Structure 1
Amino acid sequence: MLRQRGAGGYDVKGRVAGFSDDPRRLIVEHEAIEGYMPAMTMPLTAKDSTALDGLAVGDAIGFRLHTEADSSWITGVERLPDTAVARHPAGPVRAGAANGPQTGAPQPVRVGVEVPGFTLSQNQNGKPVRLADYRGDVLVLTFIYTRCPLPDYCPLMSKRFATLQEQIPPKLKEQVELLSISFDPEYDTPSVLTDYAARYTGDLSNWTFATGTKEQVERVTGLFGVFTEQEGGQITHNLTTALIGPEGTLREVWRGNDWQPADVVADIKRVAGPASARAAPTASQRTP
């Protein structure tokens, strides 16, 4: 377990588990960082892509992990003697640990196809959420968990949603809904979701935070191609944000954290069409 943290970040050791299409990014299975996160496998980004030159899957490496309000990155990447790092620093993969690409999970929905219905058992008010409740609205949804430690993962997604909420034109606000789905139902109870929501918004009129049973969460993460793996108190996961049109069709999917609220607003306007083209749903059309 690594303990050092200075003004420049955390010293970390691990093994290269894979690479990304982004030349600056690699997948690392790393040891636990005491007081910050458990051992896990996750994508990390180097400031300089040349720092990753010559690395291969399985290499033992050391590096320094830096974090700021909205970002994280690694520096000082160096290959270590093979004996310096355990063969599997995060421990063996446990059967049933992952959601998403598993036996029985639904296939991810393709853009242009109607999204199958799903239900989540509780939102921040303890009430159920159903995809059918959003028919007639433009829905933008993303996936988070409230204990996520990396600033450029779930916290950044929630900050982006807060900006997106502010940038939705007033004439479209009644037609656009935001939904943040937690894949950590054991911890993210309604009260936890309420507290988390308060960090990002004071307006829950069109932004809902929700989770469900293990089976419900596995279904919805599978529908949108979200991978999660529980590791101690933290969850390794990818990032996915999606836009569903008023007719229930998946219109856009953004992978990763590079999307910008202004671009999503442009897609919302395109999908919603003229504000006068259809009436906004009334309160009676919503599930209480």
Structure 2
Amino acid sequence: MAVPNSSMARTARVGAMQTKLASIDTLVDKGAISAAEAAKRRQAVAQEMSGRQWRLNIKALVGLLFFSAVLLAILRSLAEPGGPLWLFAIPPVVAQVGDYATVLAPLVAISVAIERLLETVFDWFEQSTRSAAEVLAAPREALDWIGREYQEAYQAAAEAAATTGVTVTPAQAEVLAQAEERLAKAEARLRSWTGAPEYRAWKRALSIWIGLLVGLVVAIMGDLGMFHIIGVPAPRLLDMLVTGLIIGAGPGPMHSIIGILQSGKDAVNNLAELARGKAVRDAAQALLIQSQVK
């Protein structure tokens, strides 16, 4: 039965590179290539391995995110009467804004929905990985049964050899044990892959990027504008981009922004109340002074 070299692509690539290096050593031992040629080949293998390493390019991801958002916004504007100029128009704002937590509740709901969607997708992916591990467990059970059968046959052959003088070598039993151990390691590696630090970092970065992208798509296609809702004049394109990034970042940042806005509004209202009270006191004092003069 064929057993895969590894359940992780990175480990498979490392194994392939090791095989190439071993073949180079074999050619040197046979005299097929010189030491200088072997050094060049080893350097080429090392460069190939380093070139295969993939790292997250933050600038490229951010650039791709904004390029996709602007392109989608332009395509969205083609369905409007003003065309691309529709993106730079300032929509009429609401004259009277109520409680921010109430008026921004739909955006919070969208943000929560995006977060739950991403969690569902990654949970499904991880469950599929665990299911693959269960598939590996089935042939392992078959190998266990074959191993027991082979052991019994080996013991019977050994007993026969004791009476006939025939020597029985355990080579085949060793090969079977190695195959079983290799399969068990593959199963354990696959089960632990979702808990590896590399996977967690990759999952976090990818979930943030996809969340921001989905938020921008929803805001642009739905013409959602947080500035418009809270009564702040702003171009439609800027409003949609900011709103998409905020709802795509998750409900946590959304709640923080609502708290900051509500606190600022309360502070302004309090200052207005203080100003009105001071004006009333000044007017009363002016009337008192005027009456005393008369």
* TM-score normalized by the length of structure 1: 0.18
Larger strand fraction of residues: 1
* TM-score normalized by the length of structure 2: 0.18
Larger helix fraction of residues: 2
Max Rg structure: 2
Larger relative CO (CA 8 A, sep 6+): 1 or 2?
A: 2
